Each structure stands twice: as C-alpha cells, then as structure tokens.
Amino acid sequence: MRVLVTGGAGFIGSEIVRTLTSAGHEAVVLDALLPSAHGGAADRPDSGIIVADVRDREAVDRALRGIDAVCHQAAMVGLGKDFADAPLYVGCNDLGTAVLLAAAAGAGVRNLVLAGSMVVYGEGRYECPLHGPVRPGPRAEADLAEGRFEPLCPSCGTELTPGLVGEDAPVDPRNVYATTKLAQEHLAASWTRATGGRAVSLRYHNVYGPGMPRDTPYAGVASFFRSSLARGESPQVFEDGAQRRDFVHVRDVAAANAVALEAVGGLRPGSFAAYNTGSGEPHTIGEMAAELASAHGGPAPRITGEYRLGDVRHVTADSRRLREELGWKPTMGFAEGMAEFAAAPQRDMAASPAR
C-alpha cells in the first residue's frame, strides 16, 4: 500500500512512517518541517518527503499521485497559550483538512485515517449515586480557585464517580483545539458521503513516548513533566493530581494507525467510524508524574493546586471497540513505558504547535 502521511516528520507521524515501512508499505511524507517544530535532520524521514504545508493545494495534489490511502496527522496540538491562537488552530486543523479532502476527492483517493482526539468528549463519563449517568457542565472558576476540582451532579450536587468513555458518548468540545478536532471529523464524514470514500478517526488519548517535543506550551502533560525533569526541576502537577487520563504509548498508536489503514478499505463506501485509542489502563496525572520522576531519578513532583480553564477533570477511554473490530491491542504497559520515556531523548525546539 502507498500511504500519504501528513505531518509524517512529527512525533506521532514519524513513528507511523517507521511502522508502515516495517510492514512493507510505502510511506510518502508531507510535512512543513518548520524549524521550530523539528529538532534537526535526525527527526526527518530518510526519503519520500514533500516539504509543504497541508493547506498548499498544489503541493497536496502532487503528494496524492499514486496514493492508496491517506493518514492525516498534520495538526496544531494542545491547548496553546490563549484564545489568540484560535485563528492558527482553525486555519491549520480545519482549513488544512478541507484542502486535503478536496484534493483527495479530485485525485480519486477514497481511504482516510484521521488523527482524532479524546478531547471531543469534553468531560468523561460520570455516575451519580442518585441519578445514574449524568453530564456535568464546565467546572466553575470559583470552585477551581477554592480547590473544589471534582465535577458535581447538576441535579443534586453530589460528587460524581468517573468511568470509561465509549464512542457513543455525546461530544462536547470545551476549548479551541477540541472544537477543531471535532470539525475535522465532521469534514471527514461529509467527504465520505460526498465521494463514496471511507474514513476512520482514531481518537487518541494521552500519547507519550520517545521523541516528544520539549519546552513547548503546545505539547502534552507527559512532555511538560519530562522537560522539567531534564532541567533538574520537579514536575508541576496542577489541581490535586487526581485527574484521570489514559496514557498510551506512541508505538501502540502507530500500530493502531497501521491496523486502521489495512481495515479502512474494507468499510462500506460512504462510511465514517471513530475509535477510541487508549491503553485501557487509566491513571491519575499525579501517578504518571510520580512514576516518571522515580524512573528518571527525581526530583519528585510538586502538587501546585493551579488550574487551567478549559481543562477537563477526568476522561478515560473505553477502547474495546478498536480491539474487537480491528484486532488492535496495545503492548506497552504503564510502568515499562514510563521507564523508557524517562530515559529517552526529546526533540529540542522553540515553542511550536506542530505535530
């Protein structure tokens, strides 16, 4: 199979390229290779790269020649610094996806795997002992400022119990990045209906592993903590550290993309499917920070009580559907993965949003 991997020189994209190549596929990489987003020549694929922005229609048309499927990873990631980043996120993530899909429609390419995200759900799944499954609204800033971090039942005010989020959960994006990731899925679904294409969105949970960028406000929490440890500083854990997440290793995410690329061509024309992509082992952010710091040899994390508006309290994946329907299974355990990550190099770069 000949696969176009957008953002294929980035953290996740480069691992996908390695996985596809090892499986005997040909990967063609389209990446802007912004100097601030790539740590040097060592991060770049050896061959088959087209240096261009995904919003460049002429370059995308050229990249799609002879392509069987597209693996779309190019995106701005993370919460960013503030709302002033909104035009950049929308331009890169949504306009970029629209340009790519329009070009694919013209080129006759009909198979797509999209880098989705768990952030489309907003808060995760919650149970109230009195009212059963409930959907809490955004947490009030006054509560956060007073250290009241747990979502409460909107009917009775009881503290809720978090659970696993399935793909049938309602979507509720609560920041600009989340909104753009949901818009990407809507664009992909519209493209399948208009062209008879087939698309799969892999809703990544918290991806970590070797090659994560360092010292950038656009990276994930695992990168923040690893960067702090590399500087000899304690990881700064927001809130009380009890936020639940699913940390999934980058090689497992790359394997999920390879499986999805094999499967997408067998879907019914005009269909779109979303799959949670997580390890299946929820952990708190405090646990992750402690495990990473211990494996690195310290210093120990510090719980700060700080918070960010737009952050959700708990969101953890139910990834059974991906396992049962596509046969994917993560192989990297939490402790093993954190031990590897604690000793692995990161990408040195200026603060950059590019994957």
Average pLDDT of the chain to the nearest whole number: 92
pLDDT score, position 42: 43
Q: What is the pLDDT of residues 131-143, one digit of tens each?
A: 999 999 889 999 9
Cβ-count burial 316-329 (b if 16+ within 10 Å, e if not):
bbbbebbeeebebe
Of 122-126, 185-189, 248-252, 331-335, which gets the smallest average pLDDT? 122-126
pLDDT score, position 220: 80
Residue 346 has pLDDT above 90, yes or no: no
Q: Helix, strand, or coil here: 71?
A: strand
pLDDT score, position 307: 95
Between CA 178 and CA 342 the distance in angstroms is 28
Confidence of residue 353 (pLDDT cuts 50, 70, 90): very low
pLDDT score, position 310: 76
Structure pTM? 0.93
> What is the pLDDT averaged over residues 171-175?
91
**DSSP structure string for 164-201:** EEPTTSPP---SHHHHHHHHHHHHHHHHHHHH--EEEE
Residue 124 has pLDDT above 70, yes or no: yes
Q: Is 177 a catalytic residue?
A: yes
Pair 138, 293: CB distance under 8 Å: no
Amino acid code (one letter) for 148: R
Q: What is the pLDDT of residues 8-48, one digit of tens each?
A: 999 999 999 999 999 999 999 999 987 645 655 444 545 56
Confidence of residue 215 (pLDDT cuts 50, 70, 90): confident
Amino acid code (one letter) for 74: A
Helices (H) and strands (E) in the chain, counts: 11, 16
Pair 181, 76: CB distance under 8 Å: no
pLDDT score, position 86: 92
Residue 226 has pLDDT above 70, yes or no: yes
> What is the pLDDT averaged over residues 73-82?
81
pLDDT score, position 294: 97
Q: Which of 177, 204, 208, 275 is catalytic?
A: 177
pLDDT score, position 174: 87
Between CA 149 and CA 311 the distance in angstroms is 11
Between CA 103 and CA 115 the distance in angstroms is 18
Between CA 141 and CA 152 the distance in angstroms is 14
Of 260, 276, 285, nearest to 171 by C-alpha is: 276
Residue 165 has pLDDT above 80, yes or no: yes
Residues in the chain: 355
pLDDT score, position 37: 54
